[in-house]
Structure 1
Amino acid sequence: MNDSCNISTSKSNVKEPIELELQRIEEDCVHSGKAQFNAGARWACYHYWLGIPSVVLSALAGAAFLKNHADIAAGLSTFAAVFMIANSLYEKAIQIYRDVPRKMRAAHRVEERVVELRALQTQTGEQTLTEMGVIRSPGVDITELIEQARKVTACKEPIEALHSLANIHPGEQVDRLRDNVIERIQQFPLQWIFASTTYSRDGRVIAKRPAMNMLGAELSESNERTIQASMIRDYGMFLGITVQSAILPALEVLRQEHRLREADFVELSRHSPIVPNGRAMLFGKALFSGYDGDFVTALHLLVPQIEHMVRTHLKQTGALTTTLDAEGIETENGLSTLMALPETEDVFGKDLVFEFKALFCDPFGHNLRNELAHGLLDDGDCRSAASIYAWWLSLKLVFNTWWNTRAASVQDEEKVDKEGEGESHA
């Protein structure tokens, strides 16, 4: 870019074509963007001086058209994703404004424009949801799976029935999910060459999946992100089926045949090696709440305790779980950061780490930890398949670590008894 002296001398050379471009944009937008660009000379200098590409002009003018002609936009949205396009245009304009050097922002009201554009982006984001349709697939008959889950849990002693519930599903296998996604990419390559955007229920863009690059022989970092996002999406679908066909039917039988108490779950948590010291009461209350059908309470208790559990076991292996800033203040890292540590897979295994990410802290997944922390979950969300599965996964971890420790202890006692019998015979 030239310095300011060169800019002032060359401004007249670029002013005319830029003004012509502005005029063309205004005409294309039925003059609705005119208010945005009524100072052609100022915009010409601004455009050239700051190196802002012409896309900002198109973005603002196109967005202005949709803002000023909402009735036309609503009609067009029947045939095309008009509000989605507008939302994208606002996003591009905001990004370009943010690239303006800080010392020049006040003179050009950059901060004011960003605030205004953010409000318009939020509005079009909400309207984007009205343009989306529901894609339905044929239903799946899970009657046999439900009956099988009931039979596995029925007519057993309480501890055996609880064991059956905790192991009603083996958990997801990350290698299998990955292989399935890669196989689909190879079979249907066209559907992967387009990027995708994930919106929240209030119209915010919360995640973007890049397009697959089919040319390289090796998977790029961008391709890996696409594969991971697709794995998490598949996981969400399998999760719903698992909850409806296995977890809830087995839980219903357990509740019908056995009346467990909160104290039972607290005691179970107290003797489970995965539960950190001093957290048995909280884990026990959470597990009992889910057993009792109160998944709202269960989720609110479990999510922070799971994060603390992960942090505790990572610390025990020597992993660094905090961040030290320039002023010497040390803060604990959140679950998303903890999941990215290399030690995490060593401690919990890659399958469980994937489930933790997909359930609690990935924007492509259910993101329960962050949604809960920001108060974004409503009553229905706390009773969703993801919330029920999160409770069941916690039960599985707490129960099975206790069960395995108990089994190992019994084996050790039997071994000691046999050795004692051998010595007495001798």
Structure 2
Amino acid sequence: MDIYSFLEQHNNARVGFNFELFINYNESYFTQDLDKAIFKLFSKISKIGFRFNEGKIIYNPLLEYKDGSRSFSVDDLTDEDFDLLRHLNFNRLSNNVKAFIADLLWIQKKDYKYSIIAINAYYGLFKELKNNINSNFDVEIIRRALFIATQIKNDSFLKTCCKLIYDIITSDTKLLENTFKRIYFIDILIQYDKSILENLIMILDEEIELSRENLYKSEHAYKSKLRCLKKLKLSQDIKLTNIALANFYVNYADCLTRSSLDEILIAKKCYIDAINLYRNNGNAQDAVYIHEKVEKIEPLVVEQLQPIKVELNVTSIIEEIKNDIKDLSFEECIICFLKVVDLPRKDSLRKRLKDELEKSPLSSMIPVSIVNKTGSVLCLLEPIISLDLDVDSVELDRHLAHKLLIETQIYSLGIEYLINYIKQKYDINPDALDFLVQDNLIVPENRRSIFKYALYLFLNDKRYEAMHILAPQVENLFRELAQNCGGSVTTIDKDGTGQVKLLKSIFETTELLECYNPDILFLFRALLIERACGNIRNDIAHGLLDENDIEGSVYSYFFGALIKLILYTSKGAFAIIKHSNKLKHILKGNN
């Protein structure tokens, strides 16, 4: 048996080679040296992975390992390998192998002869597979054939292919059972045959009527129709179709029972998509009316959300704090915030994100919606897997900020224990906190009284009042820091009037970033203004913070982090530590 007979008998891959075939057999199966050489080369090529994407074929190693090594790749093919491929008897290869090899030669060597072989092999393979209504693979291979034909300007092939596809969508009743496949073929014709666009619009109208109860099929059909209309430059019809799509979204959403979170979220998205279409097509009044529906549906999101319960054994943490603070003075207990509060570095958060990606790749593929207590979406985080975690970016910072928010639930446990211990054991008054703020380089001199008063309120369960003081004072603290580092905290308008910079711009001040710890700047920025994290400053500035919210972990963590920040530059605290052997022992090795 020669190599061609062997492949015909054993290779059942849709395109290319069956990888397992070359595990079960080896070159000793053949007697001729040429067959053995071809088998060995095909064995290597079988390890090349590939995928189709909008008519293109993208190659990649079939296997990639954690240590960076990989299986055979297109880049590993040598000139000798390509010479051997050129000398194959393509007439004896089946279409699935012929298409793959010829396409490989066309892409890598730009040899026109193989582009012709490739498109004809894909076309033959398409005719073999087109009756399989349960697979869309035939859609991908005919799209690839048309893509190559366009590259080489083979108009005759394009015309033949498009005619066959048009005959299929107009005469094959089986395709009506899989309307998505029919629409996929229509999308191909929209791209490659402008002469039948009006006919395609009529077919798409039929699809829209048949798919009224299927959101995604109808939506796809509407959008394909819009592509036709845009190519025909029918602006009025485009507007009417957009409004029809908006009406469809609204009607579909209205019919949902909303008995599950999925249905509620689908309805909400439909309404929002409809609002955008109405606004962009001159129906502002309808947009206002549908917005009222969105406001009514948002509370249902919160009602359906179920908390995920995680049990943590924090006994050892609490016991350690308990032993540390035994017999300490009030001031020494406050200084213990240095040990109890963890200020995570960005790199630590980044590493934990990487660990999550490795442990749970599937969950890392899902975007995350950050919603407020009414169900409104504050921001949408892209899937972690789509980010380069080694490169700083705005999107990565948002993920890190959200990671910080989640971890505050753990960090706050020790903080809450320490706060409760202090308020139960000591009779606190504002003056007791003088040692923290007096002679403190980071606390503005004219703000020291209000700082210690706000800290006093928080320690005495007046957290709501305390946060309304602390948030703007901490904002001012970082403005002062930026200014002291030589940065500008104002902007000048064209008319010469000055405006105070937004807090976001303050945290991005070059001089501040050069002079101050970037991890601390990131942490307080996340807590104060990042929607994916605390957003404390914005919630307070807009009057959105309720008394019921104040018990959240993010607020106790903010308080603890602020105490630790102030302790770093407190001369009074430093003097106490200097004369306290117990504190020196407790804080040994602490950041």
TM-score bin (small chain): 0.7 to 0.9
Secondary structure of the 2:257 match is helix
TM-score (structure 1 length as normaliser): 0.75
Q: How far does residue 154 in structure 1 lie from its aligned partner after superposition?
A: 2.1
Matching residue of 1:420: none
Secondary structure of the 1:254 match is helix
Q: Distance in 1 between matches of 2:340 and 2:385?
A: 39
Paired AA for residue 49 in structure 1: S
Secondary structure of the 1:73 match is coil
Residues 28, 163 of structure 1: alpha-carbon distance in 2 compared, 3 angstrom cutoff: closer
Q: Distance in 2 between matches of 1:28 and 1:169?
A: 52
The answer to whether structure 1 residue 85 and structure 2 residue 266 are counterparts is: yes
| Larger deviation, residues 307-316 vs 55-64 | 55-64
Which one of 362, 365, 376 corresponds to residue 193 of structure 1?
365
Q: How far does residue 220 in structure 1 lie from its aligned partner after superposition?
A: 9.2
Q: How far does residue 279 in structure 1 lie from its aligned partner after superposition?
A: 0.6
Which one of 344, 357, 377 corresponds to residue 205 of structure 1?
377
Secondary structure of the 1:198 match is strand
Q: How far does residue 49 in structure 1 lie from its aligned partner after superposition?
A: 1.2
- Indicate conservation of the 8 Å contact 2:451/2:473, yes or no: yes
The answer to whether structure 1 residue 168 and structure 2 residue 340 are counterparts is: yes
Q: How far does residue 14 in structure 1 lie from its aligned partner after superposition?
A: 9.0
Q: Distance in 1 between matches of 2:268 and 2:364?
A: 23
Q: How far does residue 164 in structure 1 lie from its aligned partner after superposition?
A: 1.6
Secondary structure of the 1:148 match is helix
Show CA shifts across 1:152-186 (max 9, x none).
12212333222123432242222111111012223
Secondary structure of the 1:182 match is helix
Residues 166, 260 of structure 1: alpha-carbon distance in 2 compared, 3 angstrom cutoff: farther
Matching residue of 1:289: 457
The answer to whether structure 1 residue 73 and structure 2 residue 73 are counterparts is: no
- Indicate conservation of the 8 Å contact 2:370/2:379, yes or no: yes
- Indicate conservation of the 8 Å contact 1:207/1:364, yes or no: yes
The answer to whether structure 1 residue 388 and structure 2 residue 556 are counterparts is: yes
Residues 54, 130 of structure 1: alpha-carbon distance in 2 compared, 3 angstrom cutoff: farther
Matching residue of 2:444: 276
Residues 167, 25 of structure 1: alpha-carbon distance in 2 compared, 3 angstrom cutoff: same
Q: How far does residue 52 in structure 1 lie from its aligned partner after superposition?
A: 5.8
The answer to whether structure 1 residue 346 and structure 2 residue 514 are counterparts is: yes
Paired AA for residue 409 in structure 2: G
Q: Distance in 2 between matches of 1:301 and 1:335?
A: 16
Residues 228, 58 of structure 1: alpha-carbon distance in 2 compared, 3 angstrom cutoff: same
1:249-268 pair list within 5 angstroms: 249-266=417-434, 268=436
- How high is the sequence identity, in percent, across the aligned residues? 19
Matching residue of 2:296: 123
- Supply the RMSD in Å over aligned alpha carbons: 3.6
Q: Distance in 2 between matches of 1:130 and 1:172?
A: 33
Secondary structure of the 2:250 match is helix
The answer to whether structure 1 residue 301 and structure 2 residue 488 are counterparts is: no
| Larger deviation, residues 55-64 vs 229-238 | 55-64
Matching residue of 1:134: 307
The answer to whether structure 1 residue 64 and structure 2 residue 248 are counterparts is: no
Matching residue of 1:111: 284
| Larger deviation, residues 48-57 vs 389-398 | 48-57
Which one of 406, 410, 418 corresponds to residue 237 of structure 1?
406
Q: Distance in 2 between matches of 1:347 and 1:404?
A: 24
Q: Distance in 1 between matches of 2:289 and 2:200?
A: 29
Matching residue of 2:498: 330
- Indicate conservation of the 8 Å contact 1:158/1:258, yes or no: yes
Matching residue of 2:235: 49
Secondary structure of the 2:344 match is coil
Paired AA for residue 363 in structure 1: R
Residues 157, 26 of structure 1: alpha-carbon distance in 2 compared, 3 angstrom cutoff: closer
Paired AA for residue 83 in structure 1: I
Paired AA for residue 254 in structure 1: I
Residues 191, 256 of structure 1: alpha-carbon distance in 2 compared, 3 angstrom cutoff: closer
Q: Distance in 1 between matches of 2:332 and 2:201?
A: 81
The answer to whether structure 1 residue 155 and structure 2 residue 327 are counterparts is: yes
Q: How far does residue 20 in structure 1 lie from its aligned partner after superposition?
A: 4.8
Secondary structure of the 1:273 match is coil
- Indicate conservation of the 8 Å contact 1:197/1:209, yes or no: yes
Matching residue of 1:94: 275
Residues 337, 73 of structure 1: alpha-carbon distance in 2 compared, 3 angstrom cutoff: farther
Q: How far does residue 213 in structure 1 lie from its aligned partner after superposition?
A: 5.4
Q: How far does residue 284 in structure 1 lie from its aligned partner after superposition?
A: 1.0
Residues 343, 65 of structure 1: alpha-carbon distance in 2 compared, 3 angstrom cutoff: same
Task: Show structure 1 runs of 5+ residues with no match.
Answer: 1-10, 30-36, 38-43, 412-426
Q: Distance in 1 between matches of 2:334 and 2:482?
A: 28
The answer to whether structure 1 residue 400 and structure 2 residue 586 are counterparts is: no
Residues 219, 399 of structure 1: alpha-carbon distance in 2 compared, 3 angstrom cutoff: closer
Q: Distance in 2 between matches of 1:328 and 1:60?
A: 49
Q: How far does residue 364 in structure 1 lie from its aligned partner after superposition?
A: 0.8
Q: Distance in 2 between matches of 1:97 and 1:342?
A: 43
Q: Distance in 2 between matches of 1:220 and 1:283?
A: 38
Q: How far does residue 17 in structure 1 lie from its aligned partner after superposition?
A: 6.2
Matching residue of 1:375: 543
Residues 209, 260 of structure 1: alpha-carbon distance in 2 compared, 3 angstrom cutoff: same
- Indicate conservation of the 8 Å contact 2:430/2:452, yes or no: yes
Show CA shifts across 1:126-172 (max 9, x none).
323334333223x1121221121122122123332221234322422
Matching residue of 1:32: none
The answer to whether structure 1 residue 316 and structure 2 residue 484 are counterparts is: yes
Paired AA for residue 355 in structure 1: L
Residues 86, 148 of structure 1: alpha-carbon distance in 2 compared, 3 angstrom cutoff: same
Paired AA for residue 306 in structure 2: G
Which one of 351, 354, 366 corresponds to residue 534 of structure 2?
366
Matching residue of 1:416: none
